[in-house]
A and B are shown apart, each in its own frame.
Chain A
Amino acid sequence: MTDTTSTSATPQLTPAELRTPMQRMLREALSRTSFKVGFGMFLALLFGALIYPEISSIDPTKMAVRSRHIPPLFLGEKWVWAHPLGTDHLGRDLLLRCLVGLRYSVMIGICTVILMFVVGCALGLISGFKGKLTDTIIMRITDAQLSIPMIILAITILGISRPTAPAIILVLGLAGWPLYARVARSAALAEKRKEYIKGQRVLGASDWRIITLFVAPAVLPPIAFVAVLDVAAIMIFESILGFIGLGIQPPTPTFGNIIADGRKYLINSWWIATMPGVFLLFTLTSLNLMGSAMENARNNVLKGAA
C-alpha cells in the first residue's frame, strides 16, 4: 500500500512567503519611504564623490591664494560660478575638498565595518557554537576590548605614529569588533538550540560543517543587514579624529581637518567650516535613514510580522 501523494494539497503560497528571510528583509526595507529618501541622497553623494572630482579640472589641494575667502553662490558679492561652495582661506575649492573628504570618509567607514564584521562574527560564531573554554576566553577578550573606549584606543595608537588611512581602519576595526562578536555569539547560541542542529549532529555532521553550512547563513545576514548604521557611526568618529588632528594628515582633505581649519574663520567666512558640516550631516542622514529602515525591516521579518 504505497501512499504516493502527500495528503493535504500544498496550500497556495503568496510569493512573499517563498523567499528567503534575507530577500524578505530587503523587500520590506525597500518598500519604506525613509529608505528610498536615504538611498536617493546616498546615490547623489556617491556620484558627486566619485565622478565630479575626476571630471572637474581643479585640483582639491592646489592653492590659489588670490582667490581665497570667496563666498558660496548667491551669498555676498564676490561669489563665482567656478566655486559653487566658495573657497577656503588658501583659495582651495571647497566643493571639491568636501567631495574628496567624503570619498575618504565613506571608504574608511565601509572598510572598517567590513573588518569589524569579519573578525567579530567569526570569533562570535566560534565562541557561541563551541562554548566552554573557547567561549570564556573569547568573551573575556571581548569584555576587555569593550572596556577600552574606541576614542582612547584611537588616541593611544594614532597619537604616536603618523595616522594613515590603513592605520585608522585597523584601529577603528580593532575597537569595534567586540560588538559584532557579542551579537554573533548570542545569535549563534539561539541558533544552536534549534532542533535542526540536533538533527544534523545525529546525522554525524561535524561542528565545522554545522557552523559553515547552517549556523553562519542563518545568523550572519541579519547582522550584515544592520551594519549600514555602523558605517555612519564610523564616519562621524573618523571626522572627530580628523578634528583633533589624528585623522588623515594634510594635504589630504577630510571632513574633520577642513572643519578644524575653518573653525578659525567662522566669524567672517563661516562657509569654510559649515560646508563640510552640512555635507557630513547630509551623508549621515542618508546613511541613518537607510540603516534604520533596514533595521526596522529586519526586526519585523525576524519577529514574523512581515
Chain B
Amino acid sequence: MADNNSILSVRNLSVGLEKDPDARIIDDISFDLGGGKVLGLIGEAGSGKTVLARALINGIGSPLIYRGGDVHYQDKNILTIPINELTKIRGNSIGYIGSNPAGALDPTVPIGGQIVEKLRSVNPSMSRKQATDRALEVLTAVRIPSPEVRFHEYPFQFSGGMMQRVMIVDALVTNPSVLIADNITQALDVTVAAQIIRLIQDLRDQFSTAILFISSSLPVVETIADEVMVLQQGKIVEQATPKALITKPKHEYTKSLLSRLPRIWGKDIKGPDAVETPNLMSVEDVHRTYYVRKKGTFRDMNAVQAVRGVSLDIREGENIGVVGESGCGKSTLTRLLAWLEEPQTGTIKFNGQDLSALDQKELTKLRQQFQLLLQDPYSSLPSRMSVGRIIAEPLLIHGIAEGTKLKERVRAAMTEVGLDPSLENQLTVGLSAGQRQRINIARALVLEPKLMILDETLSSLDQVEQSKLFELFDKLQKTHGFTYIFISHDMALVRKVCHRVAVMYLGRIVELAENNTLFENPAHPYSRALLSAVPTLDVHPFKSDEYLLEGEPPSPVHIPPGCSYRTRCPLALEICNRIDPKATMLAGGGQVSCHLVDQDQQAQSEQAATVT
C-alpha cells in the first residue's frame, strides 16, 4: 500500500468539527511524500493548510476531531500509536516549523536552553554537553552570526528572520527524515523570506530530509518544490510539477489562482508615466529620532534614528509610492507627513506653508487639506458609532455643517464612495473590509482634502476588493484632483498605480525614480535586491543570488559609517565604507544616493566631454 520509497504516506485523511459531524476541514486527502523529495502545497487563507500540517503529526485537539484516514511513517500509523511511541517520532524523526516564529518559543527562557531541552526530551540518553554542542553545530549551519553568544539570548532579542532560523535549527537538530514547513515565510519580509528559502534549499542536501513545504504563495513554492499540490477548501484539486502547473493548469481553481497572481514584469505590464505639475507638498531633509532607555541602564538612552534626512517633493494630482521593508522608517515618515509627529530637524511645507510655523488653530484648519487613510479596516473605525456618525465626525470637529446640511453632505459622500446610504445608522460591526475602507475614504472625502496619504490601505484586502478600490481612487482623482501617497511593501500594487516610486532603506530614500525606470532599470543596488526577491512568476530581471546577500538590515541604533547598505551590497566599493553618498539627480527627474552611480555618471560625463 505504501509507495516503496515514500517516507510518509497519507490515506483518506479527514478532519471535522466536534460539534458538527458532517463538517470537513480536511476532506479525504491522500498523498505520498518521497524520501528526500520536496512536496509543495499551496492554498489560500482558510483552505485548511495549517490544520493539515498539524493533523499529519497527530497535533490537533478540540474543537477539531479526526473523521478518518491514517498517516503512515515507516510502518507505524501516527494517528493510532500510543503516546510514548508518538513522542519518539514527533519532534524527532518528523520536524515541524510553524508560521509564527516570534511566538514559537517560551519568551522567558534562552533559545539555547529550549533547543537543548527539546533534544534531551526526544532522546533522554543524550547528555547536556552533547545536546549543547549539537545545537551550536546546527545554529552555525543556519548561518546565525556568533551562535555561542546568541545561544544564551532570549527570543525577544531576535528579529523575525533570525527567529525562524532558530526554529529551523529546532526542527533539524534531531536530523529528522521528514520536515513539515507550515507557511514559514508568511510573517517575513520579501528579502528575508528569499534568504530563508535559499537556506532551506542548501540544508536539504546537507540533511537529506523530505520536506512538505506549505505556503500561500505559488511563486515561493515554485522555486523550491519538486511537485506541487493545490488545496481548495480541504480538498487537493490538482497535483503536478511546478512548470506543468504554471503552463498547463487543469483545474478551474488553479487557473483562477494563477490569474490573480501579481504581475510586475511582462510584455503588456506598464506603469503610468510621471506628471509634470507644481509641488503640493515638499519635504526637506527631515530627521526623526526616538530616544529609548537602554535596557538595564539608569539614564543613558539608545537613539533610534527612524528617519535620517528624507527630502521629497510631491506633485499635485500625482500618485507617488514609498516602498521599503519593515524597519526602514516608512511608517514614521507617514506619521510625519500626516503631522501626527513633528520632525526634530527639517521642514514640511504644504501649499508653501511650513507646518511647524502654524499655531494650533491654523494647523487644525489646514489639516482638512491633507488626510491619512489607515491600514486595518477593523481597528481604524470606532466600534460603537453608526456609519453616518463616523463620517459626520470630521464635519462636527471643524464645525463645517450641522443638522440637515450635515446629513446631506454625509449621504453625498456615502454615495460617492459606493456605500448604500441606508447603512447610515447601522453599526460598523457587520460590514466587510471593503465597506469599512470606503467609510474611511468617505470620512476623509467630506473635508475635500487635496492630499490623501494611504498607509498600506489596500494591503489587507483581497485582489478583487483591491481592484474595485483602485477604480474608486482613480475616479475620485479625476473628479477632485486628489494627490495620493501610497505607502506599501506590496511592489505589484505600486507598479500598477504609482507615477513615481521612492525606495526607502534604514530611514533614508536611496532611490526615487519614475515607475518604469525603477522597475526596468533601477540604479541603486538595494532596489535591485528588493526587486529580485519579489514573489512573482514573471521572469526576474535581477537574480537574487546576484544581488541579495546574506544578513539582515543593521539596527537603526548602530548605523554603520559610510553607506548604510554597504554591509549587504554585493557591489560595495572602498569609498562606501567611509563616505555616506549624497543624493544625486539623474536625468529624467530621478535621484539616487550611491557612489557607484556617481562614478558611472562621472565616467559618462567625461566620455561626453571627450566626445564633444
The residues of A with any CB-CB pair to B shorter than 8 Å are 1-8, 10-11, 13, 17-18, 20-21, 194-196, 198-205, 209, 214, 217-218
In angstroms, Cα B419 to Cα A205, docked, is 25
List 10 A-B pairs, Cβ < 8 Å: A2-B415, A3-B472, A4-B418, A6-B420, A6-B431, A17-B430, A196-B374, A196-B382, A203-B367, A205-B393
Chain B residues with CB under 8 Å of A20's CB are 383-384
Contact yes or no, A198 B372, CB < 8 A: yes
Contact yes or no, A204 B368, CB < 8 A: yes
Contact yes or no, A18 B368, CB < 8 A: no
Contact yes or no, A11 B379, CB < 8 A: no
Contact yes or no, A198 B419, CB < 8 A: no
Chain A residues with CB under 8 Å of B393's CB are 200, 203, 205
B438 within 8 A of A: yes
In angstroms, Cα B372 to Cα A7, docked, is 24
In angstroms, Cα B49 to Cα A111, docked, is 55
Partner of A7, one of B374, B416, B434: B434
List the 9 closest pairs (A to B, CB-CB), nearest first: A3-B418, A195-B380, A204-B364, A202-B372, A13-B430, A203-B394, A204-B367, A195-B374, A195-B379
In angstroms, Cα B383 to Cα A20, docked, is 8
Chain B residues with CB under 8 Å of A204's CB are 364, 367-368, 394, 397-398
Chain B residues with CB under 8 Å of A205's CB are 393, 397
Specify the chain A residue showing the minimal Cβ separation from B366.
Answer: A204
Query: B260 to nearest A CB, angstroms?
Result: 15
B381 within 8 A of A: yes
Known: A5-B420, A209-B397. A199 touches B429 (CB 8 A): no
B464 within 8 A of A: yes
Chain A residues with CB under 8 Å of B191's CB are none
Query: A133 to nearest B CB, angstroms?
Result: 16
Contact yes or no, B380 A7, CB < 8 A: no
Known: A17-B429, A202-B371, A203-B443. A196 touches B397 (CB 8 A): no
Chain B residues with CB under 8 Å of A202's CB are 338, 340, 367, 371-372
Contact yes or no, B468 A3, CB < 8 A: yes
Query: A255 to nearest B CB, angstroms?
Result: 41
Contact yes or no, B415 A10, CB < 8 A: no
Contact yes or no, A199 B468, CB < 8 A: no
Contact yes or no, B374 A11, CB < 8 A: no
Contact yes or no, A199 B465, CB < 8 A: no
In angstroms, Cα B472 to Cα A1, docked, is 9
For chain B, residues 419 to 467, give those with C-beta under 8 angstroms from any C-beta of chain A.
Answer: 419-420, 427, 429-432, 434-435, 438, 440, 443, 447, 464-465
B376 within 8 A of A: yes
Interface string of B1-39 (1 = CB under 8 A from A): 000000000000000000000000000000000000000
Query: A299 to nearest B CB, angstroms?
Result: 18
Contact yes or no, B427 A18, CB < 8 A: yes
Chain B residues with CB under 8 Å of A196's CB are 374, 379-382
Query: A198 to nearest B CB, angstroms?
Result: 6
Q: A6-B432, A196-B374 are in contact. List 11 more A-B contacts (CB 8 A).
A: A4-B415, A5-B418, A18-B427, A195-B379, A195-B380, A200-B382, A203-B394, A204-B368, A205-B393, A217-B384, A218-B384
Chain B residues with CB under 8 Å of A18's CB are 427, 429-430
Partner of B432, one of A8, A195, A200, A217: A8
Partner of B420, one of A4, A11, A199, A203: A4
Chain A residues with CB under 8 Å of B435's CB are 6, 10
